[in-house]
Amino acid sequence: MDSKRLAVAFGASAAILILWTLLFPPAKPAPRAVAPASPTKGVAASESPATPAATAVPDVAPAASAAAAPAPVAVAPVVASSPRLLTVKNGVLSVRLSNRGGEVVSAVLRRFRGGHDEEAPLELVRKDVPFAGRTLVYDPADPFLARAGAALHETTVEEGGNEVVVRFRYRESDGQGVTRTYTFGTGYVVGLRVEREGGGRGAAAVVLGPGVGNPTEEELANRYTKPGSSVTLSGSRSVSRKAKDGLKEPVALGTGFLAAGLEDNYFVTAFLPGAKEAVTLRPVSLSAPAGPAKGAVPAVAPEPLVETEVVASAAGTLETGLYLGPKDIDVLATVRPGMEKLIDYGWFAILVSPLLWLLKQFHSAIPNWGVAIILATVVIKVVLFPLTWKQLVSMKKMSALQPKMEAIRQKWTPKLKSDPQARLKMNEETMALYKAEKVNPAGGCLPLLLQMPILIAFYNLLSHAIDLRHAPFALWIQDLSAKDPYYVTPILMTLTMWLQQQMMPATGDATTRKVMGFLPLVFGFMFKDMPSGLVLYWLVQNVLSIVQQLLLERYTDLGMRPKAAKKA
């Protein structure tokens, strides 16, 4: 019995001990410090362990903690040992490249003359102070691209057939690198590819500008020129322009553009981006040119120049064309559909094409654009002769009605203050007189109104047609696209316009005639800074109108003689 009780006591004790051990286990000893394992092949080198070693083992030194993080794999850097300039030429372009960032330090149009030196070819890279004299630099907003833009790149050149490929490569020891490739053909379009490598890659971005060409002081002061304006051509072929100082902050335009760049009246440098390349317009402030000599006190502190630059960017790889050339309608149409719209012919663009065609026909026969403008003006005058005839007839009849119209004015003028209906009644009586005499009071204005679209089209043609840039005429006029340096043609235009006005039959009241008397002076002031080719057109137009009116008054009756008298 006692043995049974002893066995039960031992069993109960064992059960209690086992249950106690399960419910209250003993504390585990502290773990020993173990160095973290190196990352495996599927883990990015930039990744770090989830728990830092310094947290797991508090007494580990900070240096050991830093060493425990996975370091990027070191690679051999790629960098050139010395600066190098490389020039690539074809029939129309001469581009000089620097291995410092692969930037363009010169882009010369070999078939066009410059503004400063008419014997030198035209340079598209702005060299004037305070411009840096380079373009197509890496976007300095990206830290790596900023370093790459200041570094010397290794350069390779491949030539074959009608193509030259220039490649610039740079890489840092942490694996970040960039390769820029230019592909030159036979025309004005250059291929551009920028590819980043390593370090998670990142955006490839290149900056075009600021500025385009090297305008003279006279061109910069002329309000009719616009060097450095930005221009974009959307996928729907709509054109948007902003003045060089028209931006206050960066504007991200996005993707889907056919062209985006900088322009003046006659030339354009523009990206030709693909579908994924994004375009951004960005203002940039440049320090003003140096002021007076040392010791002199400037009257007013020079303001910084504000220009526009164009940024093309894409994730990883940027691939775009680059157009460096003239605004030649035949050339632009072959680059991309719709590129010809980069030429700003204004509201009456529909008239520019036939006018340019007419000028080219005369120029092919007589190789002088001034003579071509004179001959084209004669043709326009002949085409508009029926309207001119109606204008003279209408003005002659209006002049004959002046005594009757003056009688109506004298009848109602004293009553204008006392009778609110007096002016209405005077107008009704005047219109009744016009109707009875079969005179159209607007007949004298219609030809002038129809000539205005032609005048505006001529102005836009002369201001933007590359054919007439720096085109000489004769004597002191050596550039039909620039103003007359001595203002001779504007003065002659004002005098002939005044003479033509004096020959016209007198119409309207005395006040109207006085106001119209100032019109030649207004036109002369407006035309003094306009292209001399446009002033030449208006001057010839006035001379032809004077001769035409003299002949018509001498040999016709201008519609004033009755039909019965004509037959007799």
Lowest mean pLDDT segment, chosen from 5-19, 178-192, 386-400, 451-465: 5-19
Q: Indicate yes or no: pTM above 0.85.
A: no
Q: Between residues 408 and 10, which one has the greater pLDDT?
A: 408
Question: Which whole number is the average pLDDT over 382-400?
Answer: 74
Tell me how far CA of residue 550 lies from CA of 227, 504, 544, 546, 557, in angstroms: 45, 10, 10, 6, 12
pLDDT > 70? residue 508: no
528 in Cβ contact with 539 (< 8 Å): no
Of the pLDDT bands very low, low, confident and very high (cuts 50, 70, 90), residue 20 is: very low
For position 479, what pLDDT does the model report? 83
For position 107, what pLDDT does the model report? 95
Q: Give me the sheet containing 137-138, strands edge to edge.
A: 137-138, 203-208, 305-315, 278-286, 251-254
Residues 417-441: b if buried by 16+ CB within 10 A, e if exposed: eeeeebeeebeebbeeeeeeeebeb
Q: How many residues does the chain have?
A: 568
For position 8, what pLDDT does the model report? 46
pLDDT > 80? residue 269: yes
Tokens of 328: 């030649």
Tokens of 88: 């690539």
Helix (H) or strand (E) holding 280: strand 278-286
| DSSP code, position 338 | T
For position 224, what pLDDT does the model report? 63
Residue 19 CA, chain-centre distance (Å), reads 88
152 in Cβ contact with 83 (< 8 Å): yes
Of the pLDDT bands very low, low, confident and very high (cuts 50, 70, 90), residue 441 is: low
Helix (H) or strand (E) holding 154: strand 154-160
Question: Quick one: what percent of the chain has pLDDT higher than 90?
Answer: 29
Report the phi/psi class of residue 316: left, alpha or beta, with left for phi > 0 and alpha for psi in -120 to 50: left
CA angle 477, 481, 486 (to 5 degrees): 35
The position carrying tokens 């009755």 is 562
pLDDT > 60? residue 33: no
Write a three-state SS string for 63-131: HHHHHHCCCCCCCCCECCCCCCEEEEECCCEEEEEECECCCEEEEEEEEEECCCCCCCEEECCCCCCCC
* 393 SS3 class: helix
Residue type, position 567, single letter: K
For position 445, what pLDDT does the model report? 65
* 299 SS3 class: coil
**392/557 Cα distance (integer angstroms):** 11
Name residue 229's beta-bridge partners: 263
Backbone angles phi, psi at 198, to 5 degrees: 70, 165
Tokens of 136: 């197509």
Mean pLDDT highest for which of 299-303, 425-429, 440-444, 460-464? 460-464
**516/297 Cα distance (integer angstroms):** 49
Cis peptide upstream of residue 210 (ω within 30 degrees of 0): yes
316 in Cβ contact with 200 (< 8 Å): no
Q: How many CB atoms lie within 10 A of CB 240?
A: 13
- CA quadruple 49, 51, 57, 61: dihedral, nearest 10: 50
Q: Between residues 44 and 469, which one has the greater pLDDT?
A: 469
pLDDT > 60? residue 19: no
Q: How many CB atoms lie within 10 A of CB 67?
A: 11
Lowest mean pLDDT segment, chosen from 191-195, 322-326, 489-493: 489-493
For position 179, what pLDDT does the model report? 95
**Residue ranges of the chain assigned to CATH 2.70.98.90:** 85-286+305-343
376 in Cβ contact with 359 (< 8 Å): yes
190 in Cβ contact with 136 (< 8 Å): no
pLDDT > 90? residue 449: no
For position 453, what pLDDT does the model report? 82
**115/111 Cα distance (integer angstroms):** 13
**210/244 Cα distance (integer angstroms):** 9
CATH of 85-286+305-343, one of 3.40.47.10, 2.40.30.10, 2.70.98.90, 1.10.3720.10: 2.70.98.90
Tokens of 322: 């680059």
Residue type, position 371, single letter: V
Q: How many CB atoms lie within 10 A of CB 316?
A: 14
441 in Cβ contact with 434 (< 8 Å): yes
The rounded mean pLDDT for the chain is 77
Q: Between residues 52 and 250, which one has the greater pLDDT?
A: 250
For the chain, helix (H) and strand (E) counts, in that order, are 17, 18
For position 53, what pLDDT does the model report? 32
Quote the crossing angle between the two packed helices 446-464 and 532-555, to the nearest 10°: 150
pLDDT > 50? residue 503: yes
pLDDT > 70? residue 64: no
Question: Quick one: what percent of the chain has pLDDT higher than 70?
Answer: 72
For position 15, what pLDDT does the model report? 52
Give tens-digit pLDDT for 287-318.
Answer: 765 555 555 555 555 567 888 999 999 999 99
Residue type, position 341, single letter: K
Q: Which of 309, 212, 221, 307 is nearest to 266 (CA)?
A: 212
For position 52, what pLDDT does the model report? 32
| DSSP code, position 245 | T
544 in Cβ contact with 378 (< 8 Å): yes
pLDDT > 80? residue 141: yes
